[in-house]
Structure 1
Amino acid sequence: MRVAGAVVVIAVLNGGDGDGPARRFAAAGAAGLLIADPRVGVAEDLATALDRIGCPVIGVSSDIHQPSDIAALVDTAEKHLGPIDLFCVAGPDGEKIVALAELPGQLDRLAELLDPLGEAIGAALGEAVPPQRRAAVGGPAQLA
């Protein structure tokens, strides 16, 4: 999975931690990060600490259990950073990462990634991610 030059969204679940993945993505040459954490101020503080020329970092308080929050994350990331390349969910049991360019047409792999959150989130992502990002470019995404 290529990180250098990638725009990455990191969605933190309750009990998860975005600090580790955010620092790893930034160190690996990500072109931009959007960190979403349900705890008020946590993502914003991390973004302030990591933001730099060449890798702008945006932090928002957001709960990806809410389909409207997912749509807002996609919108915010694309408006300020460009098309999303990688989507990472950081939960209490670790991280799952998917490359959006490798997803099949209906974002099935991203829906699988978010399966514990329910089908509504996968459907919301299918509606929120622009059609050009939905096209399959290769085989199935590799989850880390």
Structure 2
Amino acid sequence: MRVTGAVVVIAVLRGGSGADLARRFTAAGAAGVLIADEDPNHAEDLAAELDRPGCPVVGVCGDIRRPSDVAALVDTAEKHLGPIDLFCVSGPGGERIVPLADLPHHLGRLAELLALVGEAIGEVVPQQRRAAEDEPAYATVAALGAVPAVPAVTAVAAVAEQA
């Protein structure tokens, strides 16, 4: 995975931080980083701390359990930083880095990203926490393919059409 010159999006779930990821990417020579958190103060404070010439860091409020927020993050990152190379999810159970070069390209780009984000959420949020989450958020994760009972390609295509 090449980090030097990469544009990185870090989406922070409740219970995650994203700070270590952001520090590692900026230190490794990323071209730009967008940090999305449900808590706008956390995202903006971290962005202000890490922003530097050659690696602008943008902090925004966003909830990646919502496909519309993922679409907005992609648009914002590409508008301010350029095409996204890496999409990261940071949660209470760890982190997952998704290289966008790995997208299969048989669906729309956003639909493919939503499928991978759904899988990442499933990996970084402990099972007992997912069960305790509110119904709409868990249903969105299920629709994104993080729950094996939902065929990911069909669900993601439907979600992408709605976004």
TM norm structure 1: 0.79
Structure 1: any 5+ residue segments left out of the alignment? Answer: 129-144
3-state SS of the aligned residue for 1:118?
helix
1:131 corresponding residue in structure 2 = none
| Count of equivalent residues | 127
The aligned residue for residue 59 of structure 2 is 59
Question: Structure 1 stretch 110-119 or stretch 14-23: which is displaced more?
Answer: 110-119
Q: Is the CA contact (8 Å cut-off) linking 2:91 and 2:121 kept in structure 1? A: no
Distance 2:9 2:86 in 1: 6
Q: Which has the higher contact order (CA 8 A, sep 6+)?
A: 1
Shift of 1:68: 1.0
Larger Rg: 2
Residues in 2 aligned to 1:110 and 1:59: alpha-carbon distance in whole angstroms = 19
Residues 71-110 of structure 1 correspond to what in structure 2 (within 5 A)? 71-105=71-105, 106=107, 107=112, 108-110=115-117
How big is each residue's C-alpha offset from its partner over 1:22-52, in whole Å with a ceiling of 9 and x where there is no partner? 0000001100000001113100010001001
Alpha-carbon RMSD across the aligned residues, in angstroms, is: 2.2
Aligned partners of 1:3, 1:127: CA distance in 2, in Å? 28
- Whole-Å separation in 1 of the counterparts to 2:46 and 2:85: 21
Out of 116, 120, 126, the residue aligned to residue 113 of structure 1 is: 120
Distance of 1:4 and 1:53 partners within structure 2:
14
Query: 1:127 and 1:3 mapped to 2: Cα distance?
Result: 28
Deviation larger for 89-98 or 62-71: 62-71
Contact (CA 8 Å) 1:103, 1:110: kept in 2 or not? no
1:31–1:55 CA contact under 8 A, matched in 2: yes
- Larger helix percent: 2
Shift of 1:115: 4.6
1:38 match: 38
Output the CA distance in 1 between the equivalents of 2:5 and 2:43: 21
Which amino acid in 2 is paired with 1:32? Answer: G
Match of 2:17 in 1: 17
